[in-house]
Amino acid sequence: MIRTTLIGHACLYIQSKETNILTDPVWFDYLWEEINVLCPSIVLEKDKVPPLDVLNISHRHQDHFDVRTLAYLVQNERIITPNTIILAPKDDLLLGILDELEFKNVRIVSDFEMIQVKDVTLTPTPSRNQISTAEDEFPEHGLLVNDGEVTLWNQVDSQVNPDIIQRIIELYGHIDFFHSRFVPLLEGNFSYNKPLALPFDEYCTYLNVVRALSPRMVVPGSAAFGYREELNFLNHYSFPTTQEQFLRDLAAFCPEVPSSKYFPGDVAYISKDQIQIKKQDSDFVRVKEDDSQKLVFKPGAPVPSIKTQTTDPIEHDKEMKKVEDFIENCFLDRLTHSELLGGWQHWQIVYQLEVFGQEESQVWSIDFAQPRLPKLHKGDIGKINLYEGISSSELYALIEGNTSWDYVTLCGNYRTFNNIYRITEGGFELPPEDKSNYALEPLMDIFPWDKDMDKRKFMRDVRRWKGKSL
């Protein structure tokens, strides 16, 4: 028999007769640079969590790779023992952070490599995101757990295809219990003025994976978080479906597959004879409040204006002076030396940067359509086809190197849009579907979203939490 307990979001506690496994631990609010909270909220009695044989980390997104929780675990010798094995993807940044936190027994996983730990076989499954060489892509894996009698699969955030599904079936014949992806997250779409409709192609893949596997039981996995109270409006723009909707759609799509809701504190008992889900049966975690109604998808709900997070007038004046000095003395020079300058000029970009303070905003504009080198104008010059609006606090933090685009684009205080075309003789010229080479936002070009920025982000958390009593 295997037991699996949902602690929160993507964190599962999996037990066989001899082996205890913990996945993607996120045990504290707030998470993801203090933007998000677990939803539903939980009560977790950490002292009751049993010692671990295996800690599995699927990838380095901060809702799966939480430095605060990891810093707590590594200094808790009762939970992380000298024999605990840490399974991690081949991700230099992630591995470096684990080393900074002083984790031992770290084992890099390989796709479909069978790892024997006591009475279970653990098999990492690949993700199709690894075929990309883009800077924002990185290794991730799902996890198969088999005790010789039953098999469960935790898909986590991994992207799979028919070949991966076929390989899983070849290895184990069938899946008894499946933690499935169920919600295509739209977080960030609001800030980028991207469509907010349910992405049906992606959503359909989740349903097709369930049908292809035909497990004995499926439950929705991951995606159990929301925005903190101050950013509550973003909950209406980020989560286009729910556990209930997914299960309703699944019942119509492949009615032969049993399914169930799955909340923190619920325990699934999986044997070759039967599968039982006992609600709130855990002795160390339970739902504090079912506040999942906060995540109702309702784009069109009221949206607050961009506003600096700096409330102290003196500090606000200091940040604005720094921002204004940067824009008026450094900004244009950086842009004219950018590799993207030719693209902005070709597409005749008229760019506007709007910086928001406590109650007001200031505007700067650049017309890249000019035949000469572009000039910076204070104020509005009419047409806009590339826009960035940002709070002074977030721009100040970018200038100082104290934040990341992960935070800036998800905190509600950065918004952008583009409307790019070029008039030609007798018609229009439009950019290719992938506009990234032509319409990259100037601020993101100046402050690149790369591995160095990611490393600084994680190291700030390491310095904050390492060795601390939590």
pLDDT digits (tens, 9 = 90+) for 166-206: 999 999 999 999 999 999 989 889 999 999 999 999 999 99
d(Cα 178, Cα 235) in Å, to the nearest integer? 27
d(Cα 390, Cα 395) in Å, to the nearest integer? 7
d(Cα 395, Cα 40) in Å, to the nearest integer? 33
What was the pLDDT predicted at 382?
87
pLDDT greater than 60 at residue 124: yes
CB 52 within 8 A of CB 85: no
CATH of domain 2-289: 3.60.15.10
CB 23 within 8 A of CB 10: yes
The pLDDT tens digits for 335-378 are 999 999 999 999 999 999 999 999 899 999 999 988 888 999 99
The pLDDT tens digits for 39-65 are 999 999 999 999 999 999 999 999 999
What was the pLDDT predicted at 438?
53
Q: Which residues, in sequence order, are CB contacts of 312 under 8 Å at separation 6+?
A: none
Q: Which ranges of 401-450 does DSSP label H, i.e. alpha helix? A: 405-410, 436-439, 442-446
Across-strand partners of 151?
Answer: 146
CB 365 within 8 A of CB 327: no
d(Cα 126, Cα 111) in Å, to the nearest integer? 5
Compute the mean pLDDT over every residue in the chain, rounded to the nearest whole number. Answer: 93
The model's pTM is 0.93
All structural domains of the chain with their residue ranges: 2-289, 313-465
Q: Which ranges of 331-383 does DSSP label H, i.e. alpha helix? A: 332-336, 341-346
pLDDT greater than 90 at residue 38: yes
What was the pLDDT predicted at 165?
96
pLDDT greater than 90 at residue 462: yes
> Taking the C-alpha atoms of 56, 61, 65 and 68 in order, what is their torsion angle to the nearest 10 degrees?
-170
CATH topology for 313-465 is Nonspecific Lipid-transfer Protein; Chain A (3.30.1050)
Confidence of residue 383 (pLDDT cuts 50, 70, 90): confident
Q: Which ranges of 274-391 does DSSP label H, i.e. alpha helix? A: 313-326, 332-336, 341-346
